[in-house]
Amino acid sequence: MAHVLETALEFMDNTNPDDLPKVRGYNIIDGQLTLSSDGATFSSQNPALLNDVLGEFPLSTRADVHAAIEAARRAHPAWAATPAPTRGQIIGNMGRLLMEHKDAIVALETREIGKTIKESGGSVQEAIDTCLFFQSEGRRLYGQTVHSELADKELMTYRRSLGVCGIINACNFPAAVPFWKMIPALICGNTCVWKSPQDAPLLSLALARIMHQAGLPDGVVNLVHGKGSGAGQYIVDAVDEGLIDKISFTGSTAVGKMIGEVCGRNLVSCSLELGGKNPQVVMDSADIDNAVEGAYWGGFGTAGQRCTSLGNLILHQDIYDEFMEKLMAKVKDTRIGDSSRNNNILYGPMLSEKYANDFLQALEMVEGSGATKLWGNGRIETGNTPDNFIGTPEDGVFMWPHVYADVTEDMACFHEEVFGPAITVVKAKDFKHALHLANASPYGLSSSIYTNDRLEAYRFKTGIKAGMTGINNSTTGAEAHLPFGGVKGSGNGSRESGIWVIESYSYWHAVNDELSGKLQLAQMDVEEIEMVEAKVDYSTLA
């Protein structure tokens, strides 16, 4: 692992890609570094500096994925039998190693997917927080003792592991999200087969090596690289083959529905964290400047490439003009570029060329819906750059910030997610109308309201159909001890993070311990208690 992190640190001091070492990437199967069985590879490329190729990685075959699954299945009995506090100690070691190597990991995340240094720092810190939180959960995987309705009998419940978990995560939070999934899976005694995001394989390799350095036994976490349509699909197919006991997936709603169908027909648990069209409502009583900050960050932080990014900005008609004037001033002043080489950058490139192409297609949908474009002009190129773009456009995959107004509920762009730096703006007549608009999209991940009317805040948080709500805060943001997830098209009700995620990676085992030495049958052998008239003369109370 050391050379992986050294490569990241070298990049911080030397941004000439010709002088940087290229990493030979590997799968990690049963604790061993392996190549793909047919020798096929793919490259990891810096989206902010396209001629910076970080390394070559195995394009995993079906045989590779099955080898990882077999290793996980072999490792499961011993790992599940390891005392939970010991599993927690290993997870705590992971958190301490992440802290020790944080600067290098942050630099690597920024180099591999183009996020700003500050945002990558937040992602890595979330992974650290997750480890430190779940370290102690190893001492709190509580069951219950329950009174029996029969004599000389004890009833108890225990949490049990599910088995082998298939982990598939997107590349926009390549440190935080896999730890959201695997750390609770591990504390519950499961083993994992992890398909790294295609656009963040080097960071995933570094994180997997840290897991093993922390004392994780071989085979407990197995890392395979490749495409979603390849290695990812092979993991999902293994559910039909009876080899995978749980799938945890972060990605598009369309793919999530497919995974849900496969798991459903096999009665296998799945956790699905999917897309969003997250609404932010701004009422006429709101602190306008604060709400503008929330909308600006929610829409354009991470170049809009968060599942919790602001989608529909819903403005009360009485403050619409003032709000838009202030918002547009900030949008036009946005600093865009590579934060590895420049300071005070709001957002960097798209995650990859694929995400850039998908975003441009989504802009065609928005404009085809009839929305009015207030700002934005697609991909940043020479001769087509906003004032505060820093750098050479052709070096990377950079996009203008986009704002579209006059959006109405009947437009496709009101309902469809746009994964990139774009906001659609909707006007509301009053609170009732605003709440209706906030609930009208097919998604239900995050939501937000800015208001100084406490009754409006109460009615919004009780009336919104979403997994998460910010009051006088943006749609983005997560903490390791709070549940994360959505409803409707944003997920299947499962949650990441906090104590609630334990339910997703364990099942309840009820134990009936008969101490009487004879067969006692509940409900049948319980003596019926006859009601009798109390021997009290109540007539004296008259």
Tens-digit pLDDT profile for residues 47-75? 999 999 999 999 999 999 999 999 999 99
pLDDT, one tens digit per residue, over 157-185 is 999 999 999 999 999 999 999 999 999 99
- The least confident of 164-168, 190-194, 374-378, 532-536 is 532-536
End-to-end Cα separation, the chain, in angstroms = 88
pLDDT, one tens digit per residue, over 260-299 is 999 999 999 999 999 999 999 999 999 999 999 999 999 9
| Residue of 131, 192, 263, 307 marked catalytic | 307
The CA distance from 375 to 504, in Å, is 43
Q: Give pLDDT, residue 360.
A: 98
Closest C-alpha among 537, 534, 472, 508 to residue 160 = 508
Distances (CA, A) of 464 to 314, 440, 446: 14, 10, 10
Residue 3 confidence (pLDDT) above 80: no
Percent of the chain with pLDDT over 90: 91
- The least confident of 87-96, 253-262, 421-430, 515-524 is 515-524
Q: Give pLDDT, residue 489.
A: 96
Supply 208's token pair: 């997997």
27 burial via Cβ count (<10 Å: 0-12, 13-18, 19+): buried
Structural contact between residues 375 and 328, judged by C-beta atoms closer than 8 angstroms: yes
DSSP-derived secondary structure letter, 522: T
- Could you give the domains of the chain? 2-274+497-504 (3.40.605.10), 278-481 (3.40.309.10)
The CA distance from 71 to 193, in Å, is 9
Q: Give pLDDT, residue 462.
A: 98
What pTM, to 2 d.p., does this model score? Answer: 0.93
Q: Give pLDDT, residue 487.
A: 96
Q: What is the mean pLDDT of residues 322-349?
A: 96
- Give me the residue label for tokens 């020790």: 100
Annotated catalytic, 307? yes
Q: What is the pLDDT of the chain when averaged over all its residues?
A: 94
- Give me the residue label for tokens 């849900």: 260
Strand ranges in 30-100 using DSSP code E only, listed in sequence order: 32-34, 41-45, 53-58
377 burial via Cβ count (<10 Å: 0-12, 13-18, 19+): middle
